[in-house]
């Protein structure tokens, strides 16, 4: 399977695609202003104080900006420029900030729409300028695709090892390696990690459910009864939050339709690995990757939504893989709206089910942690490969040095985004050295 993209991945959008991005950015900024949903999982817990008036709009904006800026400029923009595919860090994190920032309800969609216009019109210009430079660091960044796609496949193995120990982790590792080798041999045009990830995630869920079932049987055998507190304040809060979100069900259905249509247009990828797969036209593989990620985020999104009263802009992110596979935008809009309706209406039930499956909840935590670990290594390794492609040893020195400096300074740029940001800064620096006649670009 080829893991490189055609040189000069473009960001040319049709009129329909431009209008969709602008309209969706306007909508998400409005929803963020209403404190009904935000994309950043780290911001969501702060929304309860904002909803209940215990903190100001400016203070909440500062929190959102602080938690999002590194991902926007260090990960979202570099990934979009290198793949030619939009991503949620670039599209939805800024509308979180702009929506909360807007002092008036009518201003939020205007600011959001303006950001959408910057994305669809400004990125293409920046993309063209960067590709015309003597040191084309955007094409070099496509070197990131191979480590991201292949190392990302290992996240179920890490999650199983962390939760169920080395023995089960070893079994999962051997199984995934065998499936990757088999896929590369028998189905060379298929994403090699697809079957491996499916087997790993199913194995993790099976182990977690089995553990919970055994524990419940043991509790019943020991006559341990579940204690239900009628006046549990958390139960009351969860109920109020779910009711608040249900009141705005039509708005959430429009949001679901919009996100699903954006995914159906194949100009948007829900994650790092997905962006490269979408860029290469491997939509079914991209759908598999984002579907497996869902299992790591449902418990987090459901519990934070019930605790804060603010949902996720992409919901449980099921609309991503569904959108990739839809044959046309009209069907995608209908299905996306229905998926969001089911998600919002089922929030309370999901919260109760998760309360009875502690091992499944733990699996979600381990999945998210494993996804972060695999991507951090893959992005760092891929960024160094990009540095080597654009500047050889000097490129590695500059990019690796910037990454290490960021670590030494206490990570002013979040770790996940530091390496891609270093590639862009390093690429600009190498171009300056070229113009000063101090560096000769690598040919090839």
Q: Are 15 and 267 in contact (CB under 8 A)?
A: no
Q: Are 29 and 116 in contact (CB under 8 A)?
A: no
Q: Report whether pLDDT(258) > 70.
A: yes
Flag whether 76 is in a domain. Answer: yes
Name every residue whose Cβ is closer than 8 Å to that of residue 101 and which is 6 or more positions away in sequence. Answer: 57, 58, 61, 111
pLDDT at 1: 45
Flag whether 173 is in a domain. Answer: no
Flag whether 190 is in a domain. Answer: no
- Calculate the CA dihedral of residues 16, 17, 22, 23 and round it to 10 degrees: 60
Flag whether 253 is in a domain. Answer: yes
pLDDT at 427: 94
For 153, phi then psi, to 5°, come to -60, -20
Q: Work out the pLDDT band at 7, boundaries 50, 70, 90.
A: very low
Number of domains in the chain: 1
Q: Work out the pLDDT band at 225, boundaries 50, 70, 90.
A: low
H-only helix segments in 280-318: 283-308
Flag whether 183 is in a domain. Answer: no
Flag whether 443 is in a domain. Answer: no
Strand partners, 38: 312
Flag whether 223 is in a domain. Answer: no
What does pTM read for this prediction?
0.88
Burial of 443 (0-12, 13-18, 19+ CB in 10 A): exposed
pLDDT at 444: 52
pLDDT digits (tens, 9 = 90+) for 72-112: 988 899 999 889 999 999 999 999 999 999 999 999 999 99
Flag whether 89 is in a domain. Answer: yes
Domain span at residue 395 reads 15-151+249-435
pLDDT digits (tens, 9 = 90+) for 409-441: 999 988 889 999 999 999 999 999 999 999 988
pLDDT at 221: 78
């Amino acid at each position: 399977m080829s893991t490189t993209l055609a040189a000069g991945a473009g960001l040319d959008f049709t009129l329909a695609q431009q209008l969709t991005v602008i309209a969706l950015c306007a909508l998400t900024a409005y929803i963020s202003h209403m404190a009904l949903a935000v994309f950043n999982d780290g911001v969501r817990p702060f929304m309860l104080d904002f909803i209940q008036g215990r903190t100001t709009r400016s203070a909440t904006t500062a929190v959102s900006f602080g938690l999002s800026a590194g991902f926007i400029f260090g990960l979202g923009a570099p990934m979009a420029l290198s793949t030619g595919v939009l991503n949620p860090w670039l599209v939805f994190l800024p509308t979180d900030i702009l929506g909360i920032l807007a002092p008036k309800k009518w201003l939020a969609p205007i600011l959001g729409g303006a950001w959408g216009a910057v994305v669809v019109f400004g990125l293409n210009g920046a993309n063209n300028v960067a590709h015309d430079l003597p040191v084309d660091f955007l094409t070099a960044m496509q070197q990131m695709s191979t480590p991201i796609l292949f190392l990302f496949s290992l996240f179920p193995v890490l999650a199983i090892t962390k939760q169920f120990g080395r023995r089960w982790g070893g079994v999962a590792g051997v199984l995934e390696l065998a499936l990757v080798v088999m896929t590369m041999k028998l189905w060379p045009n298929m994403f090699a990690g697809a079957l491996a990830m499916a087997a790993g995630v199913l194995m993790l869920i099976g182990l977690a459910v089995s553990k919970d079932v055994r524990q419940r049987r043991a509790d019943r055998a020991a006559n341990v009864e579940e204690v239900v507190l009628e006046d549990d304040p958390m139960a009351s809060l969860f109920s109020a939050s779910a009711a608040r979100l249900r009141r705005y069900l039509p708005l959430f259905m429009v949001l679901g339709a919009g996100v699903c249509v954006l995914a159906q247009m194949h100009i948007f990828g829900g994650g790092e690995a997905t962006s490269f797969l979408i860029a290469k036209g491997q939509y079914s593989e991209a759908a598999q990757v984002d579907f497996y990620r869902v299992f790591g985020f449902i418990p987090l999104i459901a519990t934070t939504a019930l605790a804060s009263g603010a949902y996720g802009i992409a919901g449980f992110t099921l609309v991503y893989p569904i959108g990739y596979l839809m044959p046309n935008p009209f069907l995608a809009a209908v299905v996306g709206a229905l998926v969001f309706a089911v998600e919002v209406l089922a929030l309370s039930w999901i919260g109760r089910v998760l309360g009875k499956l502690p091992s499944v909840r733990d699996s979600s935590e381990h999945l998210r942690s494993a996804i972060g670990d695999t991507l951090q290594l893959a992005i760092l390794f891929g960024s160094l490969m990009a540095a080597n492609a654009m500047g050889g040893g000097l490129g590695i020195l500059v990019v690796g040095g910037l990454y290490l400096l960021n670590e030494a300074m206490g990570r002013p740029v979040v770790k996940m985004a530091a390496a891609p940001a270093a590639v862009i800064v390093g690429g600009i620096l190498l171009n300056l050295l070229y113009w000063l006649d101090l560096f000769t670009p690598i040919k090839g």
